Amino acid sequence: MMKMKQMYKHISQVVLVSVLVLLGAFTVVNAQGQDSVGKPALEDKDPLLYDAQGYASNTGVSIEEALRRFKLQDIARDLQAEVITKEAETFAGLWIEHTPEFKIVVQFTRNGEETIKPYLEQYPEFADIVEVRNTAKVSLANLQRDQADASSSVSALGIRVPSGINVYNNSVELYITKADRSRFDDALQRREIQLPDSVRVITVEAEQMGADMALLTPAAQASPEAPGFEMFVGIVGIMAVWWRLKK
């Protein structure tokens, strides 16, 4: 049986757009009022500082730097919302990497460097931390279309199929239980199901189609698996998952 972290490894690759806010408590506070590394715990009255302390502890930066990154992540939401709307033809995803260095990655299908220029003039705080990639074959808008088409095709056969978009790998991912996989493959062979080239099918255990699969809804997608970070993402809102930082 696939262990929970292995499942999250699959889920971590599912992305709808990008990545932004670290709101989880990164540091476990013990009964003596100290965190797991022996620092005094912060008052519950200031959750932002509490989160910043946890982030700083796990990434090796100062609390001031953690707060600066939180602010940049909030601003990145505005950038993301604009690019999604105005550059739908070529925009393929945006995410934030926290390690080994803090940076914003913006992915396009082509001409990314030129496309991003006016946005960096509008958001100069990102000028030194943005990495533009032109490695995507399919735009985010087209991935969303492929996701809807694939989900509809499979659901029409009565097969439960949570799905998500992995912007890091520029693909749609469908999750099929082992019990349904044989029926799914048969239908695919008989051409009862039509899947776009961008779609990947991932087999999971039946019990993992419960609470875990809630992470795959459009309101709570998971980010790409990249060195040192994991994230949940929504279409315009994002939350970073911290378990990988705790490894």
- Please, which residues bridge with residue 163 across strands? 174
pLDDT tens per residue, range 178-203: 999 999 999 999 999 989 999 999 99
Please state, in angstroms and rounded to a whole number, the distance separating the CA atoms of residues 42 and 156.
52
The more confident residue out of 219 and 43 is 43
Pairing of strands 230-233, 221-222: antiparallel
What is the pLDDT, as a whole number, of residue 210? 58
Question: Where do the structural domains in the chain lie, given as residue ranges?
Answer: 140-216
User: What CATH code is assigned to 140-216?
Assistant: 3.30.300
CA 195/CA 208 separation, integer angstroms: 23
Pick from 54-58, 88-92, 107-111: least confident: 54-58
pLDDT of residue 194: 86
Q: What is the spatial distance between Cα 134 and Cα 120, in angstroms, rounded to a whole number?
A: 17
| 238-241 vs 230-233, strand pairing mode | antiparallel
Give the tens place of pLDDT for each residue, 132-174: 999 999 999 999 999 999 999 999 989 888 999 999 999 999 9
Between 213 and 129, residue with greater pLDDT: 129
> How much is the mean pLDDT over the chain?
74
pLDDT digits (tens, 9 = 90+) for 70-96: 999 999 999 999 999 999 999 999 999
Q: CA 172, 174, 178: angle at the middle one, nearest 5?
A: 155
18/129: higher pLDDT: 129
What pLDDT sits at residue 206? 77
Taking residues 33-44, what's their average pLDDT?
46
Question: Residues of the chain with pLDDT > 90: what percent?
Answer: 57
Residue-level pLDDT at 75: 93
At 94, list the tokens: 């945006």
% of the chain residues with pLDDT over 70: 65
Higher-confidence residue: 100 or 8? 100
